Amino acid sequence: MAQDKLAKLRKKSVKIEVDDETYYLRYDLNALVELEEAYDNIEEAFNFEENPKGAIGKLRKVLFVGLSANHPNITEEDVGGMFTVENLGEFQDAIAKAMDIAMPAEQVEAKNSSKAPKDHQPKKKK
Q: How many residues does the chain have?
A: 126
Q: Over the stretch 52-98, which tens digit does the pLDDT of each residue have?
A: 677 888 889 999 999 998 999 999 999 999 888 888 888 889 998 99
Coil vs helix vs strand at 14: strand
> Is 90 exceeded by the pLDDT of residue 47?
no
Note the pTM of the prediction, 2 decimals: 0.70
Q: What distance in Å separates the CA atoms of residue 92 and residue 20, rounded to the nearest whole number?
A: 19
**pLDDT for residue 107:** 47
> Is 60 exceeded by the pLDDT of residue 114?
no
Q: What is the mean pLDDT of residues 95-123?
A: 61
Q: What distance in Å separates the CA atoms of residue 27 and residue 10, rounded to the nearest whole number?
A: 11
**pLDDT for residue 78:** 94
Average pLDDT of the chain is 78
